[in-house]
Structure 1
Amino acid sequence: MLHLTIKDFDLTAIAESGQCFRMTSVGTIEKEYPVYKIVALGKCLLISRDPKGDTDTYLASCTESEWEEYYKHYFDLTTDYECYRSYADPSDEFLKTCMEYGTGIRILNQEPWEMLISFIISQRKSVPAIRTTVEKLCALSGEECFIDSSEWHTLAPEIPERIYFYPFPDAGTLAGFDVEEIGSTGTGYRTGYIMEAARKVTTGEIDLSALAETPDEALLEELLKIHGVGIKVASCTALFGFHRLSLCPEDVWMKRVKEQFYSGSWPESYKPVLGVLQQYMFYYARLEHEKDKIKRTGRENQ
Structure 2
Amino acid sequence: MEWRYENGELAVRPDGPFSAAETLFCGQCFRWRQTADGFEGIAHGRALTLRERQDGTVLLTGLEESDVPLFLHYFAFDEDYAALQRRLQRSKRLAECIRCAPGIRVLHQDFFEVLLTFIISQNNNIPRITGIVARLCEGFGAPLAGGGRAFPLPCDLADRTVEELAFLRAGWRADYLLDAARKVASGEVGREKLARLATPEARALLMTIRGVGPKVADCVLLYGLERAEVCPMDVWMKRAMARRFPRGMPLCARDCAGVAQQYIFHAERTSFRPQGGPG
Q: TM-score range by the shorter chain?
A: 0.7 to 0.9
**1:176: Cα distance to partner?**
2.3
Residue in structure 1 matched with residue 11 of structure 2 by the alignment = 4
Deviation digits for residues 213-247 of structure 1, max 9, x if unmatched? 32211111110111110000000000000011000
> Residue type matched to 2:135 in 1?
K
Measured in 1, the distance between the counterparts of 2:236 and 2:242 equals 10
Which residues of structure 2 form unaligned runs of 5+?
1-7, 275-279
Aligned-pair distance for 1:66?
A: 4.5
In the comparison of the two structures, how many residue pairs are matched? Answer: 265
Give the Cα–Cα distance (whole angstroms) in 1 for the partners of residues 247 and 176 of structure 2: 31
Between the aligned partners of 1:245 and 1:13, the Cα distance in structure 2 is: 19
CA contact (8 A) 2:141 2:152 kept: no
Which residue identity does 2:150 align to in structure 1? P
Out of 161, 179, 200, the residue aligned to residue 196 of structure 1 is: 179
Per the alignment, residue 49 of structure 1 pairs with 52
1-structure distance, mates of 2:254, 2:112: 25
CA contact (8 A) 1:84 1:277 kept: no
CA distance in 2, matches of 1:3, 1:243: 24
Taking structure 1 as the reference length, the TM-score comes to 0.82
Q: Do the aligned partners of residues 183 and 291 (structure 1) sit closer, same or farther apart at CA in structure 2, a change above 3 Å counting?
A: farther
Deviation larger for 262-271 or 109-118: 262-271
> Following TM superposition, by how much is the alpha carbon of 1:82 offset from its aligned partner in structure 2, in angstroms?
2.7
Q: Distance in 1 between matches of 2:9 and 2:108?
A: 21
Task: Give 1:85 deviation, angstroms.
Answer: 2.1
How much identity, in percent, do the aligned residues show? 32
Task: Say whether the 8 Å CA contact 1:3–1:57 is kept in structure 2.
Answer: no
What secondary structure, in the 3-state scheme, does the structure 2 residue paired with 1:24 have? strand
Distance 1:83 1:57, change over 3 A: closer
**Post-superposition offset of 1:63:** 4.7
Q: CA deviation at 1:78?
A: 1.2
Q: Paired residue for 1:28?
A: 36
3-state SS of the aligned residue for 1:276? helix
Corresponding position: 1:113 with 2:120: no
**How big is the shift at 1:41?**
0.9
Question: Which letter maps to 1:65?
Answer: E
Residue among 6, 28, 40 paired with 1:37: 40
Structure 1: stretches of 5+ with no match in the other structure: 30-34, 148-163, 295-302
Distance 1:69 1:261 in 2: 37
